[in-house]
Each structure stands twice: as C-alpha cells, then as structure tokens.
Amino acid sequence: MKKIIKEKEKGNLIVISGPSGAGKGTIVEKLKKINKNIWVSISCTSRDPRPGDKEGETYFFLTRDEFEKKIKEGDFLEYAEYSGNYYGTPKSKILDKINNGIDVILEIEIQGALKVKELVPDAIFIFILPPTISELRRRLVNRGTENKDKLLKRFERAYQEINEVTKYNYVVINDDADDATNKVNSILVSERCRVDRIEDIYLGNKEEELHELLVDKDLVNENLKI
C-alpha cells in the first residue's frame, strides 16, 4: 500500500564543528556504527600526519603547494587555514551522495563551517562542546602530540570558537561520548521528520472510501457526532 506521504529523496548536509579537543572525531566514528544512512566526507589537509592517522581515512594529506593548486582549481566546497595548516572539503561525491538520499557529514573547523553556511544555508549545523574548560585543557594536554606553544595557540583559539556557538542550529555537550553520539543521531532522525521534507501527500480512492465508511449514517446518532 502506498504511504500517505512521499518524502523528499535528497539527504541532508550535516556540519559538525567544535573546538579542538571537544571530541568531534570520536562522536562521528561512533555515529557511523549506529546510523547506516550517513556518509562522512573526508577532508584534505596540509598538516603533517599524526600517530594513528591514515591516508584516505583520517584525511587526504597534501603538501601546501598541492593544496593551494586545488584551491585555484576550485576543487573545494570550502577551505580554511587553521593553526598554520590548510583544511578543506572536496566537492567530489558530496552532491552525488545527497541526491541519492544519503546524509553527508562534514566534520570541519568553524571557519570553514561558516563558509558552508553561506553556500548551503539549509544545512544542519551541530556544535560540539566539552563539559568544562578544564576538561578541554586536559584533553588537549593528554594528546601529547604538540609542544607548549602550539597547545597555547589551540587553547586560545578554543576560547574564540566557543563564541560562535550561536551561529549553529544545535549544541551537544560531550561529557559522555556514547550519550553525546545518541543526541547527535536523534537530531539527524528528527530532521528527517520535518514537515518541509514532505514532497507530496496521497489521498486516493481508497482513502475516500474509508472516509465514506467513517461518516456512514449508521454511525451517526444522538450520542455520537462526527
């Protein structure tokens, strides 16, 4: 039987941002395990790989010259320079996935996210925050991947970025990674239930027959009014 409504077939574009150390990557990895209708876009970066990074999984690693060449060729949906390194979202595959009903997630820096908002204002913007500034500091220090000067720059940048939260649609506090992931997934599910996703409403002959049965004269008496 045909459903009463037809939903738009396109997927949503979801932008997830937050200060370094908020736990965005952890949430996205957990989200991939519980929501099979998402595709996570892999960004390009000019920064050096860190321990555990994998080419084509964590990022596509480019030299600075290679990155700037792609900028000139218009290969990025957005790009930004952060802590002395470029980060950018390649256009390839994103539109194809969305047109095939897949929700596409961009885990990108705030500067790039605001550029996407200018280009795609109806995208869904989710901001991830740590529970406290002290916890943010602990996470950054415990990474052990950067020297004191770079840590200080990241921490100063985090203060600035937190002030951008009002430009997003949703905010999720990452106190517990599983709980935060479930909240983000709930946002994605609820966005697919929005009325503006309805493309058409079907009320065919069968629905009209059902209506006639419900208003049959035998159902109407002094105690029952329809």
Q: What is the pLDDT along the chain (226 residues), one digit of tens a residue?
A: 567 777 778 999 999 999 888 899 999 999 999 999 999 999 999 999 988 899 988 899 999 999 999 999 999 998 988 888 999 999 878 988 999 999 999 999 888 899 999 999 999 999 999 988 888 778 777 766 667 777 777 777 777 888 899 999 999 999 999 999 999 999 999 999 988 888 777 766 565 556 666 665 555 555 545 4
Same domain for 171 and 127: yes
Domain-embedded: residue 225: no
* Cα gap 181→219, rounded to integer Å: 50
Q: Domain total for the chain?
A: 2
- Nearest in space to 161 (alpha carbons), one of 146, 140, 192: 140
Sheet strand arrangement including 103-107: 38-40, 103-107, 13-17, 124-129, 170-173
Domain-embedded: residue 124: yes
- Nearest in space to 192 (alpha carbons), one of 38, 35, 12: 12
* Cα gap 171→202, rounded to integer Å: 36
CATH code at 134? 3.40.50.300
Domain hosting 70: range is 42-92
CATH code at 74? 3.30.63.10
Domain-embedded: residue 21: yes
Single pTM value for the model = 0.77
Same domain for 10 and 67: no
* Cα gap 38→156, rounded to integer Å: 33
Same domain for 36 and 47: no
Give ∠ CA 91-106-99 in degrees, rounded to 5: 55
Question: In DSSP terms, which residues pair with 80 in a beta bridge?
Answer: 87
Same domain for 172 and 139: yes
